[in-house]
Amino acid sequence: MDVRTDLDLAAVRAFVAAVDEGQFGFAGDLLEISQQAVSKRIAKLETHLGTALFERLPGGIALTAAGRRLLPHARSLLAIAEEAAVAVRGDAGPLRVAVLGERDVAMQSMRFYLDRSPGAEIDIVLSNAFDTSRDALMSGRADAAFARNHGGPRRLPGHIAAVPAYLEPLHLVVGRDHPLSGRSAVSVGELRAFTVWVPGARVPSEWADFYRDLNAHTGITIDTDKRRADDAPSGVEAMFDRIAGSPTLATFSGEGFHNPWHPHVRRVPIVDPTPAYPHALLWDSTNTHPGLPGLISHVRGNYNSDVARDCWFPEADRALFL
C-alpha cells in the first residue's frame, strides 16, 4: 500500500481536529461525530502510516515527533481538498486572510478595510510564533497573509507575490523607574548602552531575522532569553507586568501594536534613525479568488510610504518598500 497516495481524508481531518482541540472528545464535537469515531479514524491513520501520532496522556493528548512532522502536510491536504471542492462548486467562499494575532497592526488594518468594504466576505486566520501567517499561506489555510516577504527559516517560492502594507515604527517600552522613562525620544546611539529584551525573537522566524539585522546595523544588544527569571512571563500582559515593575528591563513594541494598558508602562519613540518593521501582504499569484484584487488594491493604496525616509529597515526589504 502506498501511503503517499492512499490517505483517508476523513482520518486526516480527525487528526487535525484533535491537534487543534487538544482532546478526541472536543474534536468529535467539532466534527459532529463521537469520540470513539475520532479515535478509530486516528488509529486507522496511525496503522496506515505505521507509527503513533499522539501520546495519550491523563489530561489529553500530545503529538509525537511523527505527528509534528505530519501536521503541516495534513493541513495542506485538507486545504487542497477544500479548494478542489470550491472549484467544482464555483463558489470561492470567504477570502481567508492570515494575521499574526488580534493585537497585531495587520488586524487593525483588516478592521479598517472591512469597515469600508461592507460587501467583502473575509475570514481572519489567526496565527502565532510557531504557526505563522506565512505558514498559513504556504499550507493553503489562507489566501493571503500579512508578513515579511524576507527572512525566516524558509525561502518563499517564486509564485508568492507581495505588496508593501505598513512600515511600523518601533517604540521602546519601559517601566516608570527605568532611566529612559519620561523621555520624549531616545536615539539609536543612546540605546547602545542598554539591553532590549525581545524573548519572541528566540524562535527562528522572519522577526528573529529582523532583530538580528537590527543588532548588526545599530549595535543595540537584543536579549532573546526567555529564562531571565524563574517567573519568566507568558503572554503580553505578563510581560508588561514585568516591564512595569523593573528599573532595567526594556522591550520593543510596534507603533500599531495594541498593547495592554498599564499605569507604570511608558512608550518612548526611537529616532536617528527610527527602526521600522516592514509588513507586506503576501498571496499566491496563481490564486484566482475574486476577493483578492480588492484587498491588494486597498493595501497598496494605503501603504504609509511617507515615513520610509526617516526609518531603518533591513536591506532585503528595501526593494519592495522604497
Query: And the C-alpha cell for 305?
Result: 510610504
Name the phi and psi angles at 160, rounded to 5: -85, 120
pLDDT tens digits for 61-79?
899 999 999 998 888 888 7
154 and 294 share one domain: yes
CATH number, domain containing residue 33: 1.10.10.10
In the predicted structure, residue 36 carries a pLDDT above the cut 50: yes
In the predicted structure, residue 226 carries a pLDDT above the cut 80: no
pLDDT of amino acid 86: 64
pLDDT of amino acid 26: 87
181 and 262 share one domain: yes
Cα 87 to chain center, whole Å?
28
Per-residue CA distances from 29 to 17, 21, 43, 180, 254 (Å): 10, 10, 18, 52, 38
Q: What is the domain range of residue 139?
A: 95-166+276-308
pLDDT tens digits for 137-178?
988 889 999 999 998 877 888 899 999 999 999 999 999 999
pLDDT of amino acid 227: 52
Name the residue among 197, 222, 214 with its Cα closest to residue 276.
214
181 and 245 share one domain: yes
The answer to whether residue 173 sits within a structural domain is yes
pLDDT of amino acid 90: 58
**pTM (predicted TM-score):** 0.73
- Average pLDDT of 295-303? 96
265 and 285 share one domain: no
107 and 137 share one domain: yes
SS3 content of the chain, % helix, strand, coil (to 5): 40, 20, 35
Query: And the C-alpha cell for 299?
Result: 493595501
Query: And the C-alpha cell for 275?
Result: 527602526
> Residue 49 carries which side chain, given as an amino acid letter?
L
pLDDT of amino acid 75: 85
Confidence label for 229 from pLDDT (cuts 50, 70 and 90): very low
Place of cell 543595540: 220
**Mean pLDDT, rounded, of the chain:** 89
Query: What is the rounded CA–CA span in Å between residue 126 and residue 136?
Result: 9
20 and 116 share one domain: no
The answer to whether residue 82 sits within a structural domain is yes
316: DSSP letter: G
152 and 283 share one domain: yes
Contact (CB, 8 A) for 96 and 123: yes
Neighbours of 96 (CB within 10 A): 21
192 and 269 share one domain: yes
120 and 208 share one domain: no
What are the residue ranges of helices labelled H in 121-235?
133-139, 188-191, 206-218
Specify the higher pLDDT residue, 38 or 129.
38
Query: And the C-alpha cell for 163?
Result: 505588496
Q: How many Å from the N-terminal Cα to the C-terminal Cα in the chain?
A: 53
Provide the 3-class DSSP secondary structure of residue 58: coil
The answer to whether residue 318 sits within a structural domain is no
pLDDT of amino acid 155: 83
Contact (CB, 8 A) for 9 and 77: yes
The answer to whether residue 123 sits within a structural domain is yes
Confidence label for 56 from pLDDT (cuts 50, 70 and 90): confident
Specify the higher pLDDT residue, 77 or 4.
77
CATH number, domain containing residue 181: 3.40.190.10
Name the residue among 88, 99, 102 with its Cα closest to residue 143.
99
In the predicted structure, residue 2 carries a pLDDT above the cut 60: no
Query: And the C-alpha cell for 281?
Result: 501582504
Name the phi and psi angles at 177, rounded to 5: -95, 5
Domain count, the chain: 3
Per-residue CA distances from 20 to 23, 32, 63, 190, 268 (Å): 8, 15, 11, 45, 38
251 and 120 share one domain: no
pLDDT of amino acid 231: 47
160 and 284 share one domain: yes
Determine what percent of the chain is predicted with pLDDT higher than 70.
Answer: 93
Query: What is the rounded CA–CA span in Å between residue 13 and residue 65?
Result: 19
The answer to whether residue 316 sits within a structural domain is no
Query: What is the rounded CA–CA span in Å between residue 27 and residue 141?
Result: 18
Per-residue CA distances from 197 to 171, 224, 253, 265, 308 (Å): 13, 6, 11, 15, 25
Omega within 30 of 0 (cis) for the link into 314: no
pLDDT of amino acid 152: 83
pLDDT of amino acid 195: 95
R_g (Cα) of the chain, nearest Å:
22
Query: What is the rounded CA–CA span in Å between residue 155 and residue 202?
Result: 19
Name the residue among 236, 287, 233 with its Cα closest to residue 262.
236
